[in-house]
Structure 1
Amino acid sequence: MTAGAATLAVLLLLIRLAAGAREPFACDPKDARTGGFPFCRASSPIPDRARDLVGRLTLQEKVKLLGNDAAAVPRLGIRGYEWWSEALHGVSNVGPGTRFGGDFPGATSFPQVITTAASFNASLWEAIGQVVSDEARAMYNGGMGGLTYWSPNINILRDPRWGRGQETPGEDPVVVGQYAASYVRGLQGSDGGGQLKVAACCKHFTAYDLDNWNGIDRFHFNARVSKQDMEDTFAVPFKMCVMDGKVASVMCSYNQVNGIPACADPKLLGKTVRGAWRLDGYVVSDCDSVGVFYDKQHYASTPQQAVADAIKAGLDLDCGPFLATHTEEAVRGGLLNEAEVDGALLNTLAVQMRLGMFDGEPSAQPYGVLGPKDVCTPAHQELALEAARQGIVLLKNQGPALPLSTRRHRTVAVVGPNSDVTVTMIGNYAGVACGYTSPLQGVGKYTKTTHQQGCADVACRDDKLFEAAIEAARGADATVLVMGLDQSIEAEFKDRDSLLLPGRQQELVSKVATASKGPTVLVLMSGGPVDISFAKNDPRVAAILWAGYPGQAGGAAIADILFGATNPGGKLPMTWYPQDCLVSVPMTVMDMRPTRSNLYPGRTYRFYRGPVVYPFGHGLSYTRFVHALAAAPAALAIPLDGRRPANSTAAPGKAIRVTHARCAGLSLGVQLDVQNAGSRDGADAVLVYSMAPWDGRARWAPRRQLVGFRRVHVAAGARERVRINIHVCKFLSVVDRSGVRRIPMGEHKLQIGNVQHSVSLQAETLRVIKS
C-alpha cells in the first residue's frame, strides 16, 4: 500500500469512528487479503458466493458458526456476529445483539402485538414493520444492533391463560397469518432481487402455547396435536408467513409435538417448512432447544446424537452453544456428514449475504444512510400513538357515558394500579422507549385530575389505599379506573391460573363505582382476556375500555378516546371467556374442537361452545355503521384439474380436495357499502365470516371462520365501498379428520355484521382435449 493510500485509509477510519459508523463485517475493501475472494463479489449470485465461502472453511471454523454467537474467521476477514436480536413491537435489547446508549438511547416502542392486532389493519402492521426496520438498520450502522431479528411471535392464542398471549396477534389463524406476512414484509423490505433490509423470523414452530402451568413447563411438554388441528390451526400462520411473507427465518420451539422435539422433527422442518413451503432462509432453534431435548426431554442418548438429530431434521442455527460445542465430535464419530453441516451454513450465510454483510462498507449500501436521526423521529412516535388509538377496544358504553366532555367533566379522578405506569404499557420483549405518556398524564392534558392508586400494585393484596381512592371519586365529575395486569401476572415462564382481576381489584372497582359522583369508566391493561362479568353487568360501571399494553404513547391514546378526540374502532382479536370455563379445560389439552364425551367445550370462537364475557370481534364505536351488500356472486364454479372424473365428487354435500382444484386466481369477490350513520367520523373493521355447509362430510368444519377483513375510515354521514377478495382454496376450505383440506360443495353463508349472503359452490371438471 502506498503512503498516500495508507493516509487515506487512516482518514476514512477516523471519519467512520467519529460518526459512530460500523466497520465492515466482511469483504472490507481496505483488506487486500479478501479482494480476490469470489464470495466478496457482490455482483455474483448469492448461492455461488455462499458455496465459495463454505468451501474455504475448515471443519473447526464451520462449527463455530453454528451458534448465535458466531465466531470470527480472521484469515478470511470475517468478523464475529451475534444473531440474536428481537423486534417484537420495536427494536428491543432483550437479545444480546442489540443495545442502547450513546447516540441511540432508545427506540420507538409500539403497542404490544395483541393491541396492534385489534386494529384489524394490515397496512398499519406493515407500516410498523417498516419503521422498526428503519430504526434497526440505523442502530446496526451505528454499531449498536444486529440485522437478524427473531420476531414476530405468531403462535395461536389458544388458551386465555398463556402468559405470552400478549405477544401474539390473537386466536384466529387467518388474522395471525396476515399479521405475520404484513409485519415481515415491513421488516424485510423488498428490492425485487432478494435483498433484505433486516431478516425477520416467525416463531415458535409449532403448537407452542404453554410456558409453566400446573407444574408442567414448556421444556417438558409434549403437545399432542391431531393432523386436523395441525393443518387447520397451528400450521396456518407459519405457512402464510413463509409463503406470503417470504420470511427469512423460522424458529422451532422447545416442546415436543406428538413425541418428537420440534427442533428434531424432519417432517416439520425439512419436509414442511423447507420442502412444502419452500423457506428461502434458515431455521433456528429457540434458545438452547437442542440442549433441552437432550438434557430435559432425554430424547437423544448423547449430545452428539442430539446434534445429528437436529441438523438432519433441518436445523441450521442454534440459539446457544450446543451445536458449536458438539458438532465436530458428531462428524468425527460418523453421526453426521460434513456436507450436512455445509448445508446448514449455506442457509445462514446466504441470509447474511442478502443483508449486504459481505458487500463491504455498510455506509455504501442501500440502507447505509440511516443513523441516529432516523430513530425516535416525530413521525415514528406519531405512528406509535396512532397504532394505540386504532387498537384500543370499547367494550361497553352505557348511556352513552363516553366520550367525556371537558366542559362537564372539569375534574376527573384517575384511580388504579395502572393509572400512572410507563414500562407496564410496553409489555414484554420491549426495549427502551423514546418517552412515555402515562394514563394520568394523558387525561391531565384534557382536564384537571386527582390521582389515587387504590392498590399498591396490580396484585392488590389489601385495601389500605381504598378509602383515598373512594374519596377522590366522590369529589370528581368523572372517575377513570385503570386496572388490569402486568408482567408480574402474565409473562414468559408465567401462565395465569385465573381469568379474574388479581387480588382485590374487583372490590376496588365496585366500591369506587358506587361512590363516584359522575360516570365511572373502567380501563383495562392486559395481554390476555379478563373475566370482568361483574363490571359488564354493573350499571354503575358506565363504560369499559380494553387497552392491552398500548405502547409508549398509550396514556395519550387512552385519553384521546375517553374525550372523543379519537373514535374507537378496535375489535377483540380473542374470545373473553368466563372464569368457570377453566374448570373443564386443562391447558395441556390441544384439541380445538369440542368433545361431547367429557364436556370439553373446544377453543376459540371457531369451535368453542359455551358462554362468553365478550366474543371475538367485539368492539363498539361512538358512531353507527350500516352495512349493505353491493355485489357478490350467488354461485361460483370450482374448476377441477381435469384428471378427475365428473362423478359424485361434485355433488352437493360432498367436499373436494383442494389439491384437485385449480386454485390459481380462484377468488370470491365481495363488495360492501359501509355507511357512517352517525355524527362522528370513525373507522370500521369489516369482518367477513364464512359458515360452510354442515351436511355430508363437512361436519368437521368450524362453526364459523373469518375469511377476510378490512379496516375502513368513513366520515360522518358518508359511505365507502369496500372490496374483499376471498381466496376460495385457502379460506372457504375446511380440514377433515385426516388433515386433508377440502372445499365443501353446496351453500356457503357469508356474514358481515347483520348482512348475510349465500353463495353456492359447484365443482366443474375441465375436460382435457387431446390434439
Structure 2
Amino acid sequence: MKLRTPSLLHLIHVTSLLLIASESTQPPFSCDSSDPRTNSYPFCRTTLPITQRVQDLVSRLTLDEKISQLVNSAPAIPRLGIPDYQWWSEALHGVAYSLRVTQGIRFNGTIRSATSFPQVILTAATFDAHLWYRIGQASPLKYCMFYVRLKAVGIEARAIYNVGQAKGMTFWAPNINIYRDPRWGRGQETPGEDPMVTGKYAVSFVRGLQGDSFEGGKLGEHLQASACCKHFTAYDLDNWRGMTRYVFNAKVSLQDLADTYQPPFKSCIQQGNASGIMCAYNRVNGVPNCADYDLLSKTARGQWGFNGYITSDCDAVSIIHEDQGYAKLPEDAVADVLKAGMDVNCGTYLKKYTKSAVEKRKLPVSEIDRALHNLFSVRMRLGFFNGNPVRQPFGNIHSDQVCSHEHRNLALEAARNGIVLLKNTDKLLPLSKTKTTSLSVIGPNADSAKTLIGNYAGPPCKPITPLQGLKNYVKDIRYHQGCDAVNCSSAFTAQAVNMAKGTDHVVLVMGLDQTQEREDHDRVDLVLPPKQQNLISTIARVAKIPVILVLLSGGPIDISFAKNDKRIGGILWAGYPGEVGGRALAEIIFGDHNPGGRLPVTWYPQNYVKIPMTDMRMRPEPSSSYPGRTYRFYQGPKVFEFGYGLSYSNYIYQFLPMTQNKVYLNNQSSSQIVENSNPLRYMLVSEMGTEVCDKMKYPVTLRVQNDGIMAGKHPLLLFVRPEKASNGRPVKQLVAFQSVNLNAGESADIEFELRPCEHLSSANEDGLMAIQEGSYLLSIGDRESEIQVVL
C-alpha cells in the first residue's frame, strides 16, 4: 500500500505529542513501542482480546494501586507505564469548560474554543433524530483501511486530546432524565418530557459521540469518545424550597418507573451501546441509586446487557453516609456502592476508605477487581493502551476540525430548526426586508453572548447575539438593554419606551438565563420576573404596531399575558440557541428561514406551582385534585401544549387507508380486570415473547402537503390514544416522529411503522407492560385513524 506524504498538520501533531511527553517521565499514552518497560506485557498486545488484556493488567497491580484507580482523577502507575487519567469531562452540547482544575479538558493551548451547539432542550425541539446524530457530522475519513464516520462533539473532543489538552475521553453526557416538572433548573439539559423522544435522543447522541453509525451496530470495540447517560434514575429535582438532590428520597411507583423514568436509560444501553452511565445522588424508594444492586447490576447489567463503566455523580458516595445516613460508616458506603456495581467515584471517598473497608472485611478485593475490569476496558477501547495515538484510527483528527465551518453551520441548522413560533397574529412575521427601515431591539438578552449558550458549555468559537444577527437586515437599528439583568431589578423603562416609539418595528429579547434556572437552582415560579413583564407590556402599548417577543429560556414560562395581548403580535421561543443563535433568530424574523420547531415540554399555567415538586407521581389522582404530569397524563389547562409550534406555511394531513387496522392477539394468555364494573381484557407483552412482538409491524402512511408559499422543514408527530382512557393509561402517547422538507405546494407520503408491543402497551401497577383490548386512535394535527386490538 502506498503511504501518503505526512501533511504539515500531521507533523505539528506528532511534534506536539513529543513535546508533551518530554515534559514528564510518562507519555500521555501507554504501551509505547519504544518503551522497554511495557512493550512485552500482554496487556499491551493489541492482537489479544480486551478482556484478556485487562485481566493481565489488573493482575499486576498492588492493592494500593488498584484503589488509586477507583476515583475520577486516577494517578499514573509509572512502573507499568500507565499514565494518569481523568474520567470527568463534559460535552452536553459541545466540548465544555473544565469546571474544576482536575477535569479532563483544557482550553489553554492551541485550541481555545469549541463549537457551542444549541442547548439540548432546543435541539430536541427539531424532532429530528438524524440531526441529533449529525450534530457535527462531517465527511468520512479514510484511515487505517477503514472508514470512520465523524461527529462534531466527538471530533472536537478527540482533536483536543490529540493536541495534548485533555487527560481523558470519557464525557459525562447526555442528560436523559425526564423533564417531569417545569421548575427543574436542569430541564434545559434534557430532550424534554417524553420518554420515547428522550430515548431516541440518547441513542442518537451516544452513537454520534462514540463514533458509531446512525443505524448502530458498526462500532466494534473502538471508541472515538465515550458517552455516559445520566442521572440513573428518577432524578429531576436539584434544590427546591430547601429540599436538595443530596437528601431527596424519590418515591416512585413500579408503574411510573416502567413507562416513564427507566425507558430512556434502557434505550441508551441497548440501542445506543453507551459505554458509561452515571448513578444519581437521590434515593429511590429509600435506596441511594449508587448503592442499589437491583438498579445497577440486576437491571442495567443483567436485564439490559450494559457493558461499560458506572460512575457516581460527584461526591455521591460520601453523601450516602454523611448526608443521607444510609450507611453507618464511610467504609459501609464504599462497600455498598462497589457491591452494588458502581465502578468509579467522582470524588475521593473510595480513595480514602476502600482499603480500610477491605481490612475490616466489609469488602472483598474481588469487587475492586470487577470495577477495574470495567474501567480499564473502556480506556483500552479508547485506544489509550495502544501506543502513540497518531498511529490509531482517530489519530488523524487535528485542531483544524474544531470550530470548523461545517460544525458552525450545523449549529446554525440546529438553532433554525429548533426555534418555535408560538404566536403570529395577522401574519406579522416574517418582517419585510425592504419595508423595514428602522428597528428597535430591546431587552437584557438581546446582546448577551453568555445567555445564548446555557450551562455546561465551553468557550464558543464566534458567538452571534440576536442584536448582531438583526444588524445584518436593518441599517437603522437601535438598541437598549431595557433592564440591568433578566430579573429587571433596575428597569430603564422610560428610555426604552422613547426608543420604541420612533421605529417601524420593535423586537423584545427577554426571558431567563442561568441566574434563574440552572444546576442546584430550581425555579419557584413559572412567570417572568414581574418588572420584566411590566416592561414588555409597557413597550407593547406605545409601539407603532404590535411588537415581536423573543424568549430565551430552558424551561417553560407562563406568558398568558403576552399570548392574550393584541399588541404583542409575534412570539418566538429560542431556548438557549448556541453560539450562532442570534443569526438563526434574525433569519426567521426576516423570512430567510421558515420556523418549524415544536415544544418538547408542556407549558403550564402559573398555578401549577401549587403542586409540590417532590411529588413524583406521573398519573393524576382526581380524589386529591392531583392533575398528573406531562402531556401523557396531565389533564388541566395549558399555556401551550407539548408538540405545539407554528410555521409560515400551513400543512395539510391525510391518513391513507391501512392494509390492516386490526391487531389480533393470542387470547389464550389474556387476563381480565374490572374497572367501574366494566371487564377489561389485556395481555402482558412479556407473555407474548420477543419473536412475536418483532413480527407485529403495521405500516401507517401519512400524506402531508405544504399548503403555503414558503418551503419548510416540518416535523410530523404521530400520537396514539385509547378511545376510552382507563387503568392509568396515558391520555395520549407520541409513537413516532419524522421531519420532512417540502417546497411550497409540494406533498409527500411518509410511512411510519406501528409496533403494538411498544406503541399500544402501557405499564400496569406491577410495572409490567400490557396491551389492553379496544379501539385506539392514531392522530396527527386534526386528523385521526382508528386501529383496534382484538383478544
Instruction: Verify same fold: TM over 0.5.
Output: yes
SS in 1 for 2:66: helix
1:462-520 deviations in Å (ceiling 9; x for gaps): 43x11111111111100000000000010111110111101401110111011111330
Residue number among 709, 725, 728 corresponding to 1:700 in the alignment: 728
The question of whether the paired residues in 1 share the 8 Å contact of 2:249 and 2:282 is answered with: yes
The question of whether the paired residues in 2 share the 8 Å contact of 1:634 and 1:758 is answered with: no
Residue number among 229, 233, 238 corresponding to 2:256 in the alignment: 229
Following superposition, the deviation at residue 122 of structure 1 comes to 0.3
Q: Which moved more, 1:594-603 or 1:150-159?
A: 594-603
Residue 162 and residue 231 in structure 1: after superposition, are their counterparts in 2 closer, same or farther (change >3 A)?
Answer: same
Residue 422 and residue 739 in structure 1: after superposition, are their counterparts in 2 closer, same or farther (change >3 A)?
Answer: same
Q: One-letter code of the match for 1:711?
A: S
Residue 649 and residue 635 in structure 1: after superposition, are their counterparts in 2 closer, same or farther (change >3 A)?
Answer: farther
Rounded Cα–Cα distance in structure 1 between residues aligned with 2:762 and 2:301 = 24
Residue number among 564, 569, 581 corresponding to 1:537 in the alignment: 564
Following superposition, the deviation at residue 412 of structure 1 comes to 0.8
Residue number among 34, 42, 49 corresponding to 1:45 in the alignment: 49
The question of whether the paired residues in 1 share the 8 Å contact of 2:620 and 2:627 is answered with: yes
Residue 18 and residue 78 in structure 1: after superposition, are their counterparts in 2 closer, same or farther (change >3 A)?
Answer: closer
1:100-136 deviations in Å (ceiling 9; x for gaps): 0221010000000000000000001001161100000
SS in 2 for 1:251: strand
SS in 1 for 2:654: strand
1:701-750 deviations in Å (ceiling 9; x for gaps): 00001011011111111112212223322222100111111112222211
Q: One-letter code of the match for 1:562?
A: I
Residue number among 606, 610, 613 corresponding to 2:639 in the alignment: 613
Residue number among 652, 669, 673 corresponding to 1:626 in the alignment: 652
Q: Which moved more, 1:664-673 or 1:66-75?
A: 664-673
Residue 20 and residue 408 in structure 1: after superposition, are their counterparts in 2 closer, same or farther (change >3 A)?
Answer: farther
2:65 is aligned to 61
Q: Which moved more, 1:651-660 or 1:494-503?
A: 651-660
1:177 is aligned to 199
Residue 341 and residue 18 in structure 1: after superposition, are their counterparts in 2 closer, same or farther (change >3 A)?
Answer: closer
2:533 is aligned to 506
Residue number among 144, 152, 155 corresponding to 2:165 in the alignment: 144
Please tell me whether residue 667 in structure 1 is matched to residue 694 in structure 2.
no
Rounded Cα–Cα distance in structure 2 between residues aligned with 1:425 and 1:49 = 45
Rounded Cα–Cα distance in structure 2 between residues aligned with 1:703 and 1:68 = 44
Please tell me whether residue 752 in structure 1 is matched to residue 780 in structure 2.
yes
Please tell me whether residue 287 in structure 1 is matched to residue 350 in structure 2.
no
Please tell me whether residue 92 in structure 1 is matched to residue 119 in structure 2.
no
SS in 1 for 2:571: strand
Residue 287 and residue 729 in structure 1: after superposition, are their counterparts in 2 closer, same or farther (change >3 A)?
Answer: same
Residue 363 and residue 754 in structure 1: after superposition, are their counterparts in 2 closer, same or farther (change >3 A)?
Answer: same
Residue 19 and residue 71 in structure 1: after superposition, are their counterparts in 2 closer, same or farther (change >3 A)?
Answer: closer
The question of whether the paired residues in 2 share the 8 Å contact of 1:477 and 1:519 is answered with: no
SS in 1 for 2:71: coil
Which runs of structure 2 are paired with 1:487-526 in the superposition (5 Å)? 487-526=514-553
1:761 is aligned to 789
TM-score (norm 2): 0.92
Please tell me whether residue 457 in structure 1 is matched to residue 464 in structure 2.
no
The question of whether the paired residues in 2 share the 8 Å contact of 1:112 and 1:549 is answered with: yes
Rounded Cα–Cα distance in structure 2 between residues aligned with 1:689 and 1:658 = 20
Q: Which moved more, 1:37-46 or 1:165-174?
A: 37-46
Residue number among 109, 128, 133 corresponding to 2:154 in the alignment: 133
2:15 is aligned to 15
TM-score (norm 1): 0.94
Residue number among 685, 692, 714 corresponding to 2:715 in the alignment: 685
Residue number among 117, 128, 148 corresponding to 1:110 in the alignment: 117
Residue number among 26, 42, 54 corresponding to 2:30 in the alignment: 26
Following superposition, the deviation at residue 192 of structure 1 comes to 3.7
SS in 2 for 1:47: helix
Following superposition, the deviation at residue 761 of structure 1 comes to 2.3
The question of whether the paired residues in 2 share the 8 Å contact of 1:693 and 1:745 is answered with: no
Rounded Cα–Cα distance in structure 1 between residues aligned with 2:522 and 2:790 = 46
1:198-238 deviations in Å (ceiling 9; x for gaps): 00000001111111111111111000000001111000111
Please tell me whether residue 164 in structure 1 is matched to residue 177 in structure 2.
no
Residue 646 and residue 322 in structure 1: after superposition, are their counterparts in 2 closer, same or farther (change >3 A)?
Answer: closer
Rounded Cα–Cα distance in structure 2 between residues aligned with 1:12 and 1:743 = 61
Please tell me whether residue 77 in structure 1 is matched to residue 103 in structure 2.
no
SS in 2 for 1:597: helix
1:435-460 deviations in Å (ceiling 9; x for gaps): 11000001110013100111111010
Superposition RMSD on alpha carbons, in Å? 1.9
Rounded Cα–Cα distance in structure 1 between residues aligned with 2:630 and 2:104 = 36
How many aligned residue pairs are there? 746
Q: Which moved more, 1:521-530 or 1:597-606?
A: 597-606
Please tell me whether residue 437 in structure 1 is matched to residue 464 in structure 2.
yes
2:140 is aligned to none
Following superposition, the deviation at residue 699 of structure 1 comes to 2.0
1:239 is aligned to 266
Residue number among 363, 369, 372 corresponding to 1:342 in the alignment: 369
Following superposition, the deviation at residue 648 of structure 1 comes to 6.2
Rounded Cα–Cα distance in structure 1 between residues aligned with 2:591 and 2:14 = 54
SS in 2 for 1:707: strand
Residue 646 and residue 97 in structure 1: after superposition, are their counterparts in 2 closer, same or farther (change >3 A)?
Answer: closer
Please tell me whether residue 719 in structure 1 is matched to residue 747 in structure 2.
yes
Following superposition, the deviation at residue 639 of structure 1 comes to 5.6
1:766 is aligned to none
1:425 is aligned to 452
Which ranges in structure 2 are unaligned for 5 or more consecutive residues? 1-10, 137-150, 213-217
The question of whether the paired residues in 2 share the 8 Å contact of 1:692 and 1:744 is answered with: no
Following superposition, the deviation at residue 97 of structure 1 comes to 0.5
SS in 2 for 1:699: coil
1:260-312 deviations in Å (ceiling 9; x for gaps): 10110111111111111111101110001000111111110111110000011
Q: Which moved more, 1:421-430 or 1:626-635?
A: 626-635
Which ranges in structure 1 are unaligned for 5 or more consecutive residues? 1-10, 764-771
The question of whether the paired residues in 1 share the 8 Å contact of 2:21 and 2:28 is answered with: no
2:343 is aligned to 316
Rounded Cα–Cα distance in structure 1 between residues aligned with 2:597 and 2:543 = 28
Q: One-letter code of the match for 1:587?
A: M
1:46-90 deviations in Å (ceiling 9; x for gaps): 111111111111111111000000111111110010110000000
